[in-house]
Structures are given as C-alpha cells and as structure tokens.
Amino acid sequence: MTEIIVPATSANMGPGFDSLGLSVNLFLKIKIGPKSDQWFVHHPFGKEVPSDEQNMIVLSALTVDPNIHPREIFVRSDIPLARGLGSSSSAIVGGLLLGNTLSGSVELSKQQILDRAVKIEGHPDNVAPAIFGGIVIGGPNPIKDDDFWTYQTDSPKNYVPIAVIPHRQLATSASRSALPKVLDRHIAIKVSAQSNLLVASIFKQDWQKTCQLLEVDQFHEPYRLKLVPELKIVRSICHAHNIFGSYLSGAGTTIMIMTKKDQADLLLDQLKKSPSLADCDIAALAFDSLGSRILA
C-alpha cells in the first residue's frame, strides 16, 4: 500500500516571519487504499475534521486533478492540530502528493507542488520545509506572480529542537487577528536587518548567533504573548541557564527551542519541573532532513 509521509514544520523562526521554517520528526502519514464510490478518509481527529471529499487532504488532491477516482485513504499523524506545527500545511502537501500520485494525466515537480501549496496556504514558511526538509527560506518571485523562490540548507548536527506544546489549540486566524495592521518604520527596519543577519548566520552555520537572533522578533511575538504566555516562561528558564534559541512556532501555541545537544537534558529537566508548564507536552525532537516522501 503506497504511503505518503510529510513532516511537521516549525515556522516564523525568529524575525523570519512568514518566510523561514524548518521540519521536525513528527509526521503525517497517508496510506492510499482501494478505489471507492466516494472519498472516505479514515483519520484520528474526531468529528470536527471531515472524513469525506471536504477533508483538506482530498481538497488539495483534487486541485491537482479533479478527475481522480475516489479512494479510501488511511491517515495517521503525530502532528497536533492548531498548535503551530504545520498540521494544515502537512495536510495540503500530503494532498498535493496524493493527487500527483493518483493522477493519470498530471505530473508535478516539487517546485510546482510548492507553488500550489503556497497558493492554498498563503505563504511558504510551513509548506516549503514540509516539501524539502531541513531549514528553508522562501518568498515570492519579484518578477513572476504565483511563483516562489526557496533556498534550503541542512539543520545543525550538534543541536536539537525541543518543543513545548501547550494542550490548548490556537487557530491561526485568531492568532493573526492579534497582529497590528501597521508597524513602526524604525522597528521594521531594525528587525528586517536582524532577519537578514539570521539568514546569513544559518547559511554560514554560525548556530550560536542563529540562536541569539531567533529571539529578537518584533513582527509577531510581542503581540501574541497574551495568547501564549508560556513563551515568556520558557525563555526565562532558558536564559537562567544561558541557553538561547526559543521562538514562537508558527502562530502558536508551541514554543520551539534550538539548543545544543549537551544542554538538552538539563533544559528538558528544568522545563518539566516548572509548575507553569504543567499543562504542556515537553519533548526533544529531531530535525528532519528528507521532507515529504512516498513509500511504494
């Protein structure tokens, strides 16, 4: 049975708002079942997620080829819904790969899958690392509409991502509504410069500076603190042990920390001891370097 695997993603890395993300080893897995009279999606998400042709996976597949014959598909996922780990992006990318696999007339390249995924999602910071793996910087082509440029690089080998995942969900739309419509020009200039430095540090593999720059965002984190107060608590615990590299993952509620491997056990212990984080799942993950893939 053919299986499509798509990793979770952690976007909005520092001041790389809507443009910079990485993939981690939580996965959406889609097994393609037999042909059917209608689409049926077996999944673990409950009644609030459609199990028919209105499921995001199927909707995305049908944008590739609306004439695909309906199937039963079987979905498993480690990616929590609405927590800032790219659950919707993984469904979009998985659906596009499903459509690409089942279509008898369309064969999309990875770049075309990216362009379609961004068109559905709105920006590349989650879908790009879900497709390519590693750390990906993405943005719109300045001379061609509906086309996106991406640059991918490997994640650090001596660092580990630690995720603090509050149990409550936070819809991206609600998190977006907390953002200001206008940003002070002086702040925008400063943070744009720091975002440039962040990208440069990543490609130079200066991970110590990368971790420091992950904490300077002023595009979205200050306005979402009231929705995710755990970020301030996590950062305080990290700084008490001279650890940097925490940021609000996507729209939240997850906080991601990029820390050295030899500091990970200490940090995990301190985070788990905090009463203020009792209502959170806290775990060391691993960076994913492969991106989405299909197993025959």
Query: Which tens digits make up the pLDDT trace of 140-181?
Result: 889 988 788 999 999 999 999 999 999 998 887 888 888 889
The identity of residue 282, as a single letter, is: I
The identity of residue 115, as a single letter, is: D
Q: Please report, for the chain, the start and end positions of each structural domain, with discontinuous segments joined by +.
A: 3-153+289-295, 159-284
Going by pLDDT thresholds of 50, 70 and 90, the confidence category of residue 186 is very high
Q: Is the pLDDT of residue 187 over 80?
A: yes
Cα 213 from Cα 201, distance rounded (Å)? 9
Apex CA 93: angle with CA 197 and CA 18, to 5°?
A: 25
Instruction: Report pLDDT for 106.
Output: 87
Q: Which residues are annotated as a binding site for ATP?
A: 80-90
In eight-state DSSP terms, residue 277 is: G
Within a 10 A sphere around the Cβ of 239, how many other Cβ atoms?
A: 12
Instruction: Report pLDDT for 151.
Output: 95
Q: Which residues are annotated as a binding site?
A: 80-90
Instruction: Report pLDDT for 278.
Output: 96
Contacts of 266 (CB under 8 A, 6+ apart): 241
pLDDT in tens, 216-227: 999 999 999 999
**Mean pLDDT score, 239-249:** 97
Cα 128 from Cα 111, distance rounded (Å)? 9
Q: Sort 4 into a burial class: Cβ within 10 Å, 0-12 / 13-18 / 19+.
A: buried
Under 8 Å between Cβ of 9 and 129: yes
pLDDT in tens, 107-121: 899 999 999 999 998
**Whole-structure pTM value:** 0.93
Right CATH for 3-153+289-295 from 3.40.50.150, 3.60.15.10, 3.20.20.80, 3.30.230.10: 3.30.230.10
pLDDT in tens, 190-210: 999 999 999 999 999 999 999
Residue 199, classed as helix, strand or coil, is helix
**Mean pLDDT score, 82-108:** 94
* Fold of the domain built from segment(s) 159-284: Alpha-Beta Plaits (3.30.70)
Positive or negative torsion for Cα 103, 125, 169, 78: positive
Cα 107 from Cα 145, distance rounded (Å)? 21
pLDDT in tens, 66-79: 999 999 999 999 99
